[in-house]
Amino acid sequence: MKVKSVSSGAVVFFIEDGKPLYLVLRAFRNWDFPKGEIEPTEDPLSAAKREVAEETGLTDLEFFEDYIETPPYGKGKVARFYIAKSKSKEVFLPVSPELGRPEHHEYRWMMYDEARAILNDRLRSVLDWAHRKICNMG
């Protein structure tokens, strides 16, 4: 499948009691990580930082340079995900100017197994990759 668009986002995590909690967002029935389209003037990491801030209100994040890309899905979309460590669990879902409502209906901080259970196969592989990296950080 030909790649027609690339979005960029992050697997955001917060350490609680020595274990990572992962931030997942729900739009209708679908759970996802924060992500969005890369603007023509942006590099993918800058786009990921902007999208996470726009969709969650989180700005005090430590982004890591490693990333993973999904295989093409939908109509030739590819999503690139970085890993970002949050110092806060204070998320808010702002109103999107384009939609006139928040892009997402709900957010949750979840343990790895909980997040894995609600994500689709494409995002499960992203979570698995991020979880391995985070657990090896020490």
pLDDT for res 100 = 83
Is the pLDDT at 75 greater than 90, yes or no?
A: no
Q: How would you classify the pairing of strands 35-37 and 61-69?
A: unpaired
- Dig out the tokens for 86 from the structure: 């949050």
Rounded to whole angstroms, the Cα distance separating 58 from 132 reads: 23
Q: Judge whether 52 and 34 are in contact, CB under 8 Å.
A: yes
- Per-residue pLDDT band at 62 (split at 50, 70, 90): very high
Q: Which residues pair with 73 in a beta bridge?
A: 77
Provide the percentage of residues in the chain whose pLDDT is more than 90: 76
The mean predicted confidence, pLDDT, of the chain is 92
pLDDT in tens, 90-134: 998 877 888 888 788 899 999 999 999 999 999 999 999 999 999
On whether the 5-135 domain is CATH 3.40.50.300, my answer is: no
Could you state, in order of their start, the residue ranges of all structural domains in the chain?
Answer: 5-135
Among 89, 93, 79, which residue's Cα sits nearest to residue 127?
A: 79
pLDDT for res 1 = 61
Angular region, 45: left φ>0, alpha ψ -120 to 50, beta rest: alpha
Rounded to whole angstroms, the Cα distance separating 92 from 106 reads: 9
pLDDT for res 105 = 81
User: Structure pTM?
Assistant: 0.92
